[in-house]
């Protein structure tokens, strides 16, 4: 048992020991927001020590009782002196194994009264208890990998989330994000911003939530089936900041999108309406640019004709009459015309003209329709006119 603990616990530090030189290379694989960059200007060979009979607990015995990531688990001179006679080396005596300062501190000259380069291993932005894992007989190699071919350990030997999920599957151990990741006191959601970086799902994460390029185009399906996971990090206001259509994200709509959007709008109006409201956004914008019946006359283009001549479009019933066209694609009409445009002719309240928009025989069913929901009726009719038509 003791030997297993040692094999496992050495890996804990192994992962910390190597970081100084290798952090830039492994930063692509281990999030800086979780494991901040380390600087460990040491010369060390785990493979050599394990081959010589050293075990994990030989150098990292403190890990067995550690309950916090803030605990320092790297060995100091005290642990090294169990094998390396540092005091004899300081006196100039020959030692085996070597124990001079520059054995582990390359470039350090003890004759110059300066301290060796500082080892900097920042605290990981995680909640972790080594003791709990050791008590449950989790081997060090389970999380940190085998060290038999590792020299100076790096951030590459720190566990990734996929490794954690081998046990944290909701059955053996909790799979809630807050089990390991720090949370914000006020909201309970995960803390995303740290001095070392921003927490963001990376490529290959086990949840399939790679927030890489173009994720804004693909996140909708995942959010609809696993919203609770999204809510671990995001509030509803985060969604609304993009979906309220008040600001155009350049990643969604490229430059000069104004000249291109009609084509996409005709092909995929449902996608457009997931962010934009036709009446408050499309119609309003079209009016400001001179498109639409309610636009200022000075803004209307003089060389563009959208509809057929007035008689064909308004007066004479036929295949090009606006009523027929509207019944086929009302969404297209609504992109330029507001509801008030229709009511200017088709409402009982209109002072301009009152053209009945209902089909023949509608009077026989109007009472049933009004009793079911008269909100649509009252758009054009008063209570009095509904009663007069027998709809009350």
- Separation of alpha carbons 92 and 86, rounded Å: 10
Contact at 8 Å (CB) between 352 and 342?
no
Sign of CA dihedral 42, 43, 48, 52: negative
Token representation of residue 328: 């086929």
Q: What is the pLDDT of residue 276?
A: 82
CA distances from 203 to 200, 208, 327 (A): 10, 8, 48
- Separation of alpha carbons 232 and 263, rounded Å: 37
Tens digit of pLDDT for each residue in 89-133? Answer: 989 899 999 999 889 998 887 777 678 888 999 999 999 999 999
Taking 90 as the threshold, does the pLDDT of residue 59 lie above it? yes
Token representation of residue 236: 């509803």
Token representation of residue 222: 């995942």
Does the pTM exceed 0.85? Answer: no
User: Rg for the chain (alpha carbons), in Å?
Assistant: 36
Token representation of residue 372: 């079911």
Query: Would residue 300 be called left, alpha or beta, if left means φ above 0 and alpha means ψ between -120 and 50 degrees?
Result: beta
Taking 70 as the threshold, does the pLDDT of residue 4 lie above it? no
Q: What is the pLDDT of residue 179?
A: 94
Residue 336 neighbours by CB under 8 Å, 6+ apart:
282, 283, 286, 291, 292, 293, 306
CA distances from 141 to 35, 134, 147, 174, 391 (A): 19, 12, 8, 21, 79
Taking 90 as the threshold, does the pLDDT of residue 246 lie above it? no
Q: What is the pLDDT of residue 244?
A: 74
Taking 60 as the threshold, does the pLDDT of residue 309 lie above it? yes
Q: What is the pLDDT of residue 253?
A: 79
Tens digit of pLDDT for each residue in 190-225? Answer: 999 999 999 988 888 888 888 887 787 788 888 888
Contact at 8 Å (CB) between 160 and 30?
yes
Q: What is the pLDDT of residue 80?
A: 93
């Amino acid at each position: 048992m003791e030997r297993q603990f040692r094999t496992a616990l050495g890996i804990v530090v192994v992962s910390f020991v190597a970081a100084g030189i290798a952090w830039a290379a492994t930063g692509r694989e281990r999030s800086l927001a979780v494991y901040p960059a380390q600087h460990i200007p040491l010369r060390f060979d785990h493979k050599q020590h394990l081959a010589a009979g050293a075990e994990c607990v030989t150098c990292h015995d403190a890990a067995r009782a550690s309950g916090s990531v803030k605990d320092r688990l790297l060995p100091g001179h005290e642990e090294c002196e169990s094998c390396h006679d540092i005091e004899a080396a300081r006196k100039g005596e020959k030692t085996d194994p070597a124990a001079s300062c520059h054995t582990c501190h390359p470039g350090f000259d003890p004759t110059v009264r300066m301290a060796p380069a500082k080892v900097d291993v920042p605290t990981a932005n995680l909640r972790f208890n080594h003791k709990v894992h050791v008590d449950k007989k989790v081997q060090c190699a389970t999380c940190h990998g085998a060290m038999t071919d590792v020299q100076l350990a790096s951030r590459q030997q720190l566990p990734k989330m996929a490794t954690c999920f081998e046990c944290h599957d909701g059955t053996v151990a909790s799979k809630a994000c807050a089990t390991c990741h720090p949370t914000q006191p006020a909201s309970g959601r995960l803390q995303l911003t740290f001095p070392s970086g921003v927490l963001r799902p990376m490529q290959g994460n086990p949840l399939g939530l790679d927030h890489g390029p173009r994720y804004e185009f693909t996140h909708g399906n995942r959010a609809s089936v696993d919203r609770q996971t999204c809510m671990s990090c995001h509030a509803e206001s985060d969604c609304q900041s993009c979906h309220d259509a008040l600001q155009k994200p350049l990643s969604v709509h490229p430059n000069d999108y104004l000249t291109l959007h009609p084509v996409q709008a005709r092909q995929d109006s449902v996608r457009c309406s997931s962010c934009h409201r036709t009446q408050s956004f499309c119609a309003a914008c079209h009016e400001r640019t001179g498109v639409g019946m309610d636009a200022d006359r000075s803004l209307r283009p003089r060389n563009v004709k959208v509809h057929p001549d007035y008689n064909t479009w308004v007066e004479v019933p036929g295949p090009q009459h606006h009523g027929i066209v509207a019944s086929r694609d009302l969404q297209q009409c609504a992109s330029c015309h507001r509801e008030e445009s229709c009511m200017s002719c088709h409402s009982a309240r209109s002072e301009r003209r009152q053209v009945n928009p209902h089909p023949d025989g509608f009077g026989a069913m109007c009472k049933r329709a009004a009793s079911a929901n008269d909100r649509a009726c009252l758009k054009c009719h008063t209570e009095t006119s509904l009663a007069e038509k027998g709809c009350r």
